[in-house]
A and B are shown apart, each in its own frame.
Chain A
């Protein structure tokens, strides 16, 4: 925000009172705006899909605005009951959930259908941040272990659906809290070791065949170029053929001629790279970096351990989206269903993300609370 006291007072009267963090908003809007153009290009140049995205952007921005009005410390009161409710919903998804695309993710409550796992993306960092900020930082080992268990519960429930992408994001959000809370490096080392030991168990007992297939494909996509390797090969062709300058908006042959799968959702970065080239990629990554910087700035400047941890976790988790999505479409990571944040088409994840940014804005703007 503004640096001089006088100006700060003035600007606060406009944006701070609305609880809007302007730099963050600019970054967010830039990404959303880019998303509109890309979805139009990737979605067969139909305006209908753009209108739908505009509508969900409107809803999500409104949600963000509302969330931003809530003083962030208030979350602490609700952390435990909401977390327990979330776990219950996740369990019920597994029991009665609606099956879509081979996975149970949706809970049908009669009036609305929603994905409890999405809500958990916000609840888990809140819960863990609350849990570890009970005590003085850095966190004690016993707290870390307990926190880990708290993270593991929803993660396993979501992985079981199966939704590896979300499980990964949720696990990250919790782990980031623990990391930012100052868990000792030795502990981190032990955890990394344990996690590595967990991989074979994951492979043998938890992963479904299609997930194993994805990993195999990731390791060698050319092995089955028309089958499971097709997506990643076509994506790399799209990105690579974009070159430095790109083929131009709406001119990407890989996307326009539908060689790219999942063009307007998970693989939208490939469309972007094909049409806007390396220059576009550099700019996009810069915008993401800007958003992350702003988020971390908010975290560092937050006045309470809880809000610091929450803001930091939300920001870093946002970056995990970026990393996993770009990593997977460019062949660095196996294909897991993680969208390119704020750009991919898909209302649910965007709403969650913007709600998260709403929390960040709240943390940034509700400065004067009592410790």
Chain B
């Protein structure tokens, strides 16, 4: 102690005081330790499960693994839609330090053009956090190599290999297959609404049109998962578990790619469409719309330049003409004739006299036949063989629009055929009610006469024609046109636990169309047989010499082929005023195996017989090859009718 202040201390009292205080402090220490331990106990024992779960969800992440999309083949197994590895350059913006600079550098290194860069920055704005965005969708092998060497300079930028759709036949199959395109915001919203977004977590593309869209659920497959352990940076440390994805179902189509090629060749230089169908099943053998476009362009994200080109093309390649409405013109005459028979307006033997025109009583207008001086005495068969307008003006007048349209509905006109693509148009089967609803105007008798020769408001799709013809050749038995022949497992799981078999037989058609007299079918079919087989009939010349016993009906219409926007109309007015050539055919006569419908827009010269019939013939030639078939049920009269002549080019319709 210091010498200045000497304190007399009571040592034992101090010691006792201190010991007391120390003991209190010790008690406090024990109390605090108990509190600490109690808290740890509640964390580790009471809340153990909760924190264990949270610890696991911290470190365990499910990485989605995209299933391989099902392949698509034609009826003979020729691959129409394949999956090919494609290398894309992708960027996780959050991982890149200086985004603009890095993108500029990597673009310079790999020679990526400014359009792609702009597109990248655009899509960057609508992406999810930490989701990669594509800078380049298709790197060449050289670019991949070049980037790999320099990868260390570009954190957050990487090359991704994934399988992308490839259509080896390019534009030949696009209108049927559609294409797979990148999933966009709209698709995502739709998938979310349908509760399918989880299954698409790793998927790049979705079927946008055609088969790819219609059978998206079958083709897509089921997502797989890789369970990985990650650290706090989200970096994968190791794989814990792997659930492989279930690949999509392979689809076999009814198409015959060789027939499809013939269709394309036959239509080259024209705008138009062909549908070839097996009337026994409804299987579509060929369906081609010209001009077409390459679906592969869309798989990789079409450039705006290419897209504008397609969009602004006067030939409208994006439109699938096989399912767009055309005025049917004379191709519907067999169906109208059948209606006349069925409604007892005419019989097989009823004749009219055709002076070359038709006139309604008390009205000044004369409705002209395509043949200026008329066909003379005309019965039903001759009216079809020669495509006599006067006969059908008269028939239509006597039938009236309501009976016509009611019967035409029976053949599927004005309604969807039910084909397994979504792009189908219904066409228009006009009626009094339809006109009231559409134009709020009454129906005029003159319009009935036009309907009698397949004009007026009436539009049909080539596919509808093929379907109607199928019903006709099948004596009323209907078939639903379809492109899917089979899928690899033939089973699809639908809502809940119900299983549906998707087989060709499951395209449920309406019940068969029955006539009051079954022989009416043959009357009309024989007339169509004559149209091709009889010397001098409208379709005789184009099918001269074929051995497969074809039947058919021509048609020509002087209207714009399909609905087009104003700009198109204005720019191509003169071309647009030219005839559309139509043709329907089936063969062989006795047991038809194929029906064909052809529509060609704005032909330079001639009509259905000279333009559309030869196209149908090429398809049938390919289909039948060297087969020789003759009819046992119908002998075509070989005598030449008196005033027989090949169709004239000045005709309105024939």
Tell me the A residues contacting B by CB distance below 8 Å. Answer: 134-138, 176, 179-182, 234, 236-244, 253-254, 257-259, 273, 277-278, 281-282, 285, 288-289, 292-293, 296, 299-300, 305, 308-309, 312, 316, 319, 322-323, 326-327, 330-332, 371
Contacts and interface: CB of A to CB of B under 8 A. Distances in A.
B44 A305 contact: no
B29 A253 contact: no
Contact of A240 (B15, B36, B47): B47
A258 B232 contact: yes
Interface stretch (B49-57, B355-363, B575-583): B49-57
14 contacts: A136-B7, A180-B21, A240-B50, A241-B51, A243-B44, A253-B56, A259-B58, A273-B44, A285-B33, A299-B18, A299-B22, A308-B15, A312-B18, A323-B32
B1 interface: yes
B40 A330 contact: yes
A181 B19 CA distance: 10
A258 B231 contact: yes
Contacts of A253: 55-56, 58-59, 229
Interface string B3-21: 0010111110111011101
Contacts of A309: 18
A244 B44 contact: yes
A137 B17 contact: yes
B18 A243 contact: no
Given A137-B14, A253-B59, A257-B59, A179 B21 contact: yes
Interface of B: 1, 5, 7-11, 13-15, 17-19, 21-22, 25-26, 29-30, 32-33, 35-37, 39-41, 43-45, 47-48, 50-52, 54-56, 58-59, 229-233, 237
A163 to B, nearest CB: 23
Nearest to B14: A137
A256 to B, nearest CB: 8
A176 B44 contact: no
A323 B25 CA distance: 14
B399 to A, nearest CB: 76
Given A253-B56, A308-B18, 15 more contacts: A134-B5, A136-B7, A136-B10, A137-B14, A138-B17, A240-B47, A240-B55, A241-B55, A242-B44, A243-B45, A273-B43, A285-B36, A300-B18, A322-B36, A327-B36
User: Top 3 closest A-B pairs, CB basis?
Assistant: A240-B51, A241-B55, A257-B231
A237 B51 contact: yes
B56 to A, nearest CB: 8
Given A239-B44, A240-B51, A332 B25 contact: no
Contacts of A288: 33
Given A237-B54, A300-B18, A278 B237 contact: no
B613 to A, nearest CB: 72
A347 B77 CA distance: 75
Contacts, number: 147
Contact of B58 (A180, A254, A289, A299): A254
Contacts of A136: 7-10, 14
Contacts of B40: 239, 273, 278, 281, 326, 330
Tell me the interface secondary structure of chain A in the complex. Answer: helix
A242 B32 CA distance: 22
B17 A371 contact: no
A312 B44 contact: no
Contacts of B26: 292-293, 296
Contact of A292 (B8, B14, B29, B37): B29
A253 B43 CA distance: 17
A287 to B, nearest CB: 11
B18 A305 contact: yes
Given A257-B229, A312-B22, A278 B41 contact: yes
A135 B193 CA distance: 82
Contact of B43 (A135, A323, A330): A330
B55 A238 contact: yes
A240 B52 contact: yes
A27 to B, nearest CB: 14
A278 B22 contact: no
B25 A296 contact: yes
A288 B41 CA distance: 17
A140 to B, nearest CB: 12
A259 B232 contact: yes
A305 B11 CA distance: 8
Contacts of B18: 137, 180-182, 299-300, 305, 308-309, 312
Nearest to B10: A136
Nearest to A325: B36
B44 A281 contact: yes
Contacts of A305: 9, 14, 18
A278 B59 contact: no
Nearest to B19: A300
B27 to A, nearest CB: 11
Nearest to B9: A136
Given A300-B19, A323-B36, A135 B58 contact: no
A303 B16 CA distance: 12
B164 to A, nearest CB: 34
Contacts of A299: 18, 22
Contacts of B52: 240-241, 243
A327 B39 CA distance: 9
B17 A240 contact: no
B294 to A, nearest CB: 47
A322 B35 CA distance: 12
Nearest to B47: A240
B16 to A, nearest CB: 10
Contacts of A257: 58-59, 229-232, 237
Query: Which of A134, A181, A326, A371 neighbours the largest number of chain B CB atoms within 10 Å of its CB?
Result: A326
B233 to A, nearest CB: 7
Contacts of B56: 241, 253
A285 B44 CA distance: 15
Contacts of A242: 44
A240 B39 CA distance: 10
Query: Which of A135, A136, A181, A288 neighbours the largest number of chain B CB atoms within 10 Å of its CB?
Result: A136
A282 B34 CA distance: 10
Contacts of B47: 240
A300 B23 CA distance: 9
Contacts of B33: 285, 288-289
Query: Which of B17, B50, B56, B229 neighbours the largest number of chain A CB atoms within 10 Å of its CB?
Result: B17
Contacts of A244: 44-45, 48
Contacts of B44: 239-240, 242-244, 273, 277-278, 281
Nearest to A238: B55
Contacts of B30: 289
Given A278-B41, A278-B44, A180 B22 contact: yes
A292 B5 CA distance: 34
A139 to B, nearest CB: 10
B528 to A, nearest CB: 75
Given A240-B51, A300-B18, A312 B25 contact: yes
A124 B26 CA distance: 21
A240 B47 CA distance: 6
A330 B39 contact: yes
Nearest to A277: B44
A149 to B, nearest CB: 20
Given A259-B59, A330-B40, A135 B29 contact: no
Contacts of A282: 37
Contacts of B17: 137-138, 182
Contacts of A134: 5, 7
A83 B180 CA distance: 80
Contacts of A323: 32, 36
A280 B32 CA distance: 18
A258 B233 contact: yes
Given A137-B14, A305-B14, A332 B36 contact: yes
Given A316-B25, A323-B36, A237 B232 contact: no
